[in-house]
């Protein structure tokens, strides 16, 4: 029999995916909207569709990492999962209202680690599984930046004799393709984190055996919740992820989105949960610095980078405190 706690977990898990879609929509559509290639409504619809279809392209490697590689399954209870989801939703909502492009992924992972640590102790954390995620906070934006610089330089070498109007004309449709690619890569990595959380919840309720396959209804509901969140995406972060970091032309937006998508796709294939916001931000900074170092608003980028560094530990601490308070009244 399905418990009321499990129903609540499913509800809050899908609510988190919805806020994740809201929070990260601007990372996917920011460049294509701010360059004027697509109106915001068309960009959001394209992004939402690709978010939903992502599992058909990328598989479920990241969901496996969350389900098996971060915490001991013996330390997981429905109560811990519920605390994790509520804490991460509060963090997502707060940063969305403040217009801070923090990582929904790291908020969820931090909340899981904090909740488990407060409930079962630090020994319940699989530190070797957490280490690649912590390293990705630094590596993924740097890879996005490096990749965008290399692609921009290669395009500059190949197209240096072409007229700018011809480049812009072809870059317009290429940016639409790159926006779709970015949305697929985002949906392929981010929605799977919540799938992993639901998978843990089903194991804790003894509905699934450990190492069983992720149920199809979990996959479809998570992808759909993220797609719906994208349809109501947070406009507060749109300026930051568009021209806030550097002023973009269509070919630069294309370069940044392709670069970020390649990094996200590689991480997803390796089962590493990374932040799409971090990756596209690094790619935008890279493509802007090719034009001129002064073309990048480094002061804003430093503030964004600071928010990245504090998200995982802050959300973990918040979830741990939240868990301790709930245990007092349990």
- pLDDT, tens digit (0-9, with 9 covering 90-100), for 219-234: 999 999 988 888 776 5
Please give the Cα distance from 101 to 86 (Å, whole number).
19
Task: Give the burial class of 213: count Cβ atoms within 10 A of its Cβ; 0-12 exposed, 13-18 middle, 19 or more buried.
Answer: exposed
The whole-angstrom distance between residue 110's C-alpha and the CA centroid of its chain comes to 14
- CB burial of 36-57 (b: ≥16 within 10 Å; e: otherwise) equals ebbebeebbbbbbbbbbbbbee
**pLDDT at residue 243 is higher than 70:** no
pLDDT at site 163: 63
Please give the Cα distance from 111 to 91 (Å, whole number).
9
> What three-state secondary structure class fits 135?
helix
In sequence order, the 6+-apart residues with CB closer than 8 A to the CB of 44 are 25, 29, 230, 231, 233
Structure tokens at 258: 């392709």
Q: Say if residues 103 and 275 touch (Cβ distance below 8 Å).
A: yes
**pLDDT at residue 239 is higher than 60:** no
The residue whose two tokens read 């301790």 is 324
Q: Give residue-wise pLDDT tens across range 93-143.
A: 787 677 666 677 788 889 999 999 999 999 999 988 888 888 887 788 889
- Mean pLDDT score, 182-197: 85
- Mean pLDDT score, 75-82: 89
> What three-state secondary structure class fits 167?
helix
**pLDDT at residue 270 is higher than 90:** no
The residues with which 71 forms a beta bridge, in sequence order, are: 125
Please give the Cα distance from 110 to 132 (Å, whole number).
14
**pLDDT at residue 159 is higher than 90:** no
The whole-angstrom distance between residue 253's C-alpha and the CA centroid of its chain comes to 19
Please give the Cα distance from 316 to 309 (Å, whole number).
12
Q: Say if residues 87 and 111 touch (Cβ distance below 8 Å).
A: yes
By percentage, how much of the chain surpasses pLDDT 90? 12
- Mean pLDDT score, 153-173: 71
The whole-angstrom distance between residue 147's C-alpha and the CA centroid of its chain comes to 19
> What three-state secondary structure class fits 258?
helix
pLDDT at site 290: 76
């Amino acid at each position: 029999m399905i418990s009321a706690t499990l129903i609540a977990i499913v509800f809050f898990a899908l609510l988190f995916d919805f806020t994740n879609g809201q929070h990260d929509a601007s990372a996917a559509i920011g460049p294509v909207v701010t360059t004027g290639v697509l109106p915001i409504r068309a960009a959001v619809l394209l992004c939402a569709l690709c978010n939903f279809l992502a599992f058909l392209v990328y598989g479920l490697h990241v969901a496996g990492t969350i389900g098996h590689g971060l915490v001991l399954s013996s330390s997981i209870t429905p109560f811990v999962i519920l605390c994790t989801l509520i804490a991460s939703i509060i963090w997502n909502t707060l940063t969305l209202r403040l217009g801070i492009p923090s990582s929904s992924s790291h908020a969820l992972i931090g909340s899981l680690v904090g909740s488990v640590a407060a409930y079962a102790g630090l020994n319940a954390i699989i530190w070797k599984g957490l280490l690649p995620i912590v390293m990705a906070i630094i590596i993924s934006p740097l890879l996005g930046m490096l990749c965008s610089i290399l692609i921009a330089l290669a395009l500059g070498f190949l197209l240096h004799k072409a007229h700018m109007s011809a480049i812009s004309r072809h870059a317009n449709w290429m940016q639409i393709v790159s926006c779709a690619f970015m949305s697929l890569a985002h949906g392929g990595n981010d929605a799977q984190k919540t799938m992993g959380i639901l998978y843990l919840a089903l194991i804790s309720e003894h509905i699934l055996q450990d190492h069983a396959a992720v149920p199809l209804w979990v996959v479809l509901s998570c992808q759909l919740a993220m797609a719906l969140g994208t349809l109501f995406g947070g406009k507060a972060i749109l300026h930051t992820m568009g021209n806030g970091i550097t002023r973009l032309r269509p070919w630069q937006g294309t370069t940044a989105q392709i670069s970020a998508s390649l990094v996200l796709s590689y991480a997803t294939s390796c089962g590493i949960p990374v932040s799409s916001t971090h990756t596209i931000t690094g790619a935008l900074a890279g493509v802007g610095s090719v034009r001129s170092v002064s073309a990048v608003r480094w002061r804003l980028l430093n503030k964004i980078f600071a928010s990245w560094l504090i998200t995982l530990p802050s959300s973990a601490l918040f979830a741990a405190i939240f868990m301790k308070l709930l245990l007092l009244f349990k």
